[in-house]
Each structure stands twice: as structure tokens, then as C-alpha cells.
Amino acid sequence: MNKNLKDNAAHAKLLELSKAPFDLTEEGALSKQRFSKFRSSAGSLQMFYGTQRVDENTLDALQELADDAGAVGQFKAMISGEVVNKIDGYDCENRQVLHTAVRNVFADLNDSDNIGNSVDAIKAAQEELEKLDEFCKDLACGSIVNTVGQPFTDMVLVGIGGSDLGPRAIYLALKKYAQPQRRIHFISNVDPDDAAGTLDGLDLSKTLVTVISKSGGTLETLTNETFVAERFKNAGLPINKHFVCVTGEGSPMDNPSKYLRTFYMFDYIGGRYSVTSMVGGVVLAFSLGYKNFENFLRGARKMDLNSLETDITKNLPLLAALLGVWNRNYLNCETLAVLPYSQALSRFAAHLQQCDMESNGKRINRQGEELVEATGPIVWGEPGTNGQHAFYQLIHQSETVVPCDFIGFRQSQYGEDLKVKGTTSQEKLFANLLAQSIGMATGSDSDNPNKVFPGNRPNSLIMADQLTPEVMGQLLAFYENKIAFQGFLWNINSFDQEGVQLGKVLANGILDTYINGKPSDESSPTWILMKESGVI
């Protein structure tokens, strides 16, 4: 389709509707009928969006927008293996985007929902899963032990960006399901204090290290790997008995003599979409067990299949994407707060921040033309109820309207609770969650101007019964697919990240200055700043 947002037939309708969006503050606006109608579900997730500023006319126009943009058709093309990571007529990565293939390994390859060229990616994913299953079995039966025959209890992940944020967020989310005596630790920042602080207190003799770099040459990861390896050498521990790697086949790291096991990642899976691949697989299977990792993948697969629905009220990621476009482009809201009322999701917003902003923070379309309309929102957030005591003041009363995604689970993971002043902690958590959603929507009037809350803060409530591995997979894929749909609607390439590359190029120039002791150009701004700031 490749249409800019303004070129879709529904654009004019949505602009007109945005002049008088549904008023959430009117008496009786949030009725039982509204909450019953404005709700959708897929798998174990339900989304209540009666607190968004939409009515049936808006939804009809959003459906028309999705149809006119061919959003579902573009998603099908992506999972079929069509090259969608590209900018027409310009140098670019020019790749397939097949992160969905790694969670499609449970289906019969002849099934109708397996489309086209993705079969090769599914087969490659199956091979890596078989290697991972074997690795987990070898750990469990004692075929892989340390140099004195003891089992490994800890694993350190060395990676950065998508090789850290996704695995870290999911590990913390599902830590309750971890096997006894299996712990994961993370080193990502090139700041030496990150590596030193993480390693301090670890029994290295019982620790495995997983190093993740697709290219095998990511400078921060190479630096941290060398730092960690030096600790192991100083402890008299052989690197090839403790280090595992996840890398591209044929990369400098693809060296069986150096690593205990090697798992492959593929160039058609972007780092921020890689947690369902071996990037997340090795650490999650080590900690949670292989079966729980499989269930995580099965959950993601369910949401991928739901993303093929053409009716937006049945396609949860597409519906969320359209609501986001409505808020961003028609109600002029620049940010999105992701607010999980679950401590287990303490790093999930950070992962979504990368996934969304690195994907959709773009200014040109897929034809290399500068866009008129805004694209990705600024994504941020923290768990409730902590956030309520930090930044909700601004959300409730500032002139800046911040749409919110509230995430909640009816049951806690651990099931350990007690009553204080007549209610349990879980009841208090949910009371706060529901109160915030309604309070932001309806606001509150008062004779005291300091106590006036204007309301009309659009928000959605995403719920499930309990945060299990399968539900976590559904929640992850829900957001991944929502981000992809928004990219299709904006006609941008959501799968490259040139903005990341610029900083790397400039930093490498500064590193050359450190090495040589002087710059090639003493009038350069970087050299002047280095001198003035005292770093050299």
C-alpha cells in the first residue's frame, strides 16, 4: 500500500472527528453499556478502552484507515518473508523481518497459517530450539558441570540494547517460575562499574556466561566480555568451559574452540524483537526451564495469529495501534505511559521504550520522503503504585495530556498475601489501578482550583488473570505487533535504526583520539569538548 497517513481516505474523517472527540467527563459517559461495548480480547488478554476518547464513529473511521492502509495485508507480507526492512531507492538494510517465525515452530509446516518464505526461518528456529533443549537436558542430567563436577547455579548475560532489555524484562517478569538455584545476572553498560558490581559476590566456578552479539563485534559487548573473561582467567577457570555465545553464523564469535555452546541469531530478526529467539532463549530456558520457555513462545504465537484478523475490534494489536495513532496524530498527544500494576513488570516499560522509539521514531517514509505527520510517541513508565507517588501529579493536572496503558492481573504470581485494615495487598493494588484509570478519564471538579482535575486523559486497561509464561508471551507480542502496525499506518520502516548508528560513528572517532593522543582535526567540536570537560 505504502500510503502516508494523510493520503488515506479516512484521514479527513478522523481530522473532523478530532475537533470534538468523545467527552469522558460528561455525566454518565462511562456507563455499563460503554464498558461492555468498548472491550476486546485475544488469548488470555482483555483490553478495556471505554476510557479512550473514541465513539462508534471514531472506530468506524479507524477501521476504514486500517483497511485503506492495508495494515493486516502488510503484516501478512511481513510474516511471509517479504522484504519490508527497506527504504525504496536508497542504501538500507534491505532485509526480511521474521521475528514471528521463531515462535511459529509448533505448527505443522503445511498448515495454512504458515505462509511462503517464512518456512525456512521456521526450520532454522527449530534447529536452534533443538540445540537449546539439548543444552538444558545436559545441564539437568549432569553432562555439563563445572571443573569439579558441580552444577551451574548462575548465568551472566553480556549484551546491550535488544540483547539486554528484552531478556532482562522477561526474566524479571517470570522470575517466580525460575528453577531452584538458577539465577540470571546482566551486564550491558560499558561503564566498568556495571561489570564489576555484577560479578562481585558471584561464585564464578558455578557461573556460566552468555555473550550476545549478532555481528560478533559490538564494541560495548566485546569490552565487557573481555572484562568478564579476565575475572575468570584470574580465578583459574577455563573460558571454553564457562562461556556460551549467541551470534550470527560465521561471525568472529562463531568459534567452537572458545565457547562451550554456540547458538545462532539471524539478520532478519532485529535486536529489539529478538527476545523470543535464542537471544532470550538461552537465559530464559536456563532459568525457567525449557518447557516454560516453550510456553512463552506459544503465547506469542497466539497473538501473532490474532494479528491476522481484519476486524479491528477482534485484532487486539491493531486496535491498540489505531488508538495510538488517534491519540498521536489527531489528539496531538506526544507521549505514552506504560503503567503495569505488577512489580514483576518493573523493566517491561524500559523494553517497550526501546522497541517502540527505536522502531517508530522516524522522520521519513519508506520512499525516503520527509513526513508531515508525527510518528512514534515518547514511551516511558514505571510500575504502579510506585509511579503514583512519583509522576502521576503531572498526568492528572498538567496541560500535557499523557495517554496511558494500564496493565493489571487479577491474581498475584506468588499467591502470598494478607489483610491489612480489611483488604489484601492485591485488593489494594487493583483498587488503585481502577481508580487511576477512571480518575484520569473523568477528572474531578472543585471550588478549590488546586483540586480541579480536568479529566479526558485517554487510557486503556489491559488485563489477564495471572502473569504466567504464556500470558507474558501474549503481552510481549501484543506490543511488538502493535508497534509494527503503527509503522505500516505511518508508512515508515520500523525495522532499522540509523539514529543509533550516528552516535557509534562519532564515539569511534573520539576513541581514536584517545588511542592516538591527539585528533586528526584540533578544531573539531569533539576535541574542544574533550579538552574543556577535562576527560583528556
Residue positions annotated with a catalytic role: 358, 389, 504
Angle between helices 278-288 and 165-173 (to 10 degrees): 30
**Residue that has been written with the C-alpha cell 511471509 in this structure:** 80
- Torsion angle defined by CA atoms of residues 517, 523, 527 and 532, in that order, rounded to the nearest 10 degrees: 120
Other Cβ atoms less than 10 A from the Cβ of 20: the count is 8
Helices (H) and strands (E) in the chain, counts: 17, 15
3-state class of 169 per DSSP? helix
Q: DSSP state, 102?
A: G
Element (H or E) spanning 336, and its range? Answer: strand 335-340
For residue 110, give the 3-state DSSP assignment.
Answer: coil
What element of type H or E holds 97? Answer: none
In 412-491, which residue ranges form alpha helices assigned H by DSSP?
425-442, 469-490
Spatial contact of 457 and 330, defined as CB atoms under 8 Å apart: no
Alpha helix ranges (H) inside 245-367: 278-288, 290-306, 316-325, 348-360
- Identify the CA nearest to 483 among candidates 368, 311, 361, 381: 361
Instruction: Name the residue among 279, 281, 254, 300 with its Cα closest to residue 161.
Output: 279
- The crossing angle, in degrees rounded to 10, of helices 469-490 and 71-80 is 120
Give 58-61's long-range contacts (Cβ < 8 A, gap of 24+): 58/14, 58/17, 58/21, 58/22, 58/326, 59/312, 59/313, 61/10, 61/13, 61/14, 61/17
Q: Are 368 and 88 spatial neighbours (Cβ–Cβ below 8 Å)?
A: yes
Of 508, 527, 526, 507, the closest CA to residue 518 belongs to: 527
Q: How many Cα atoms occupy the beta-carbon half-sphere of 48 within 13 Å?
A: 19
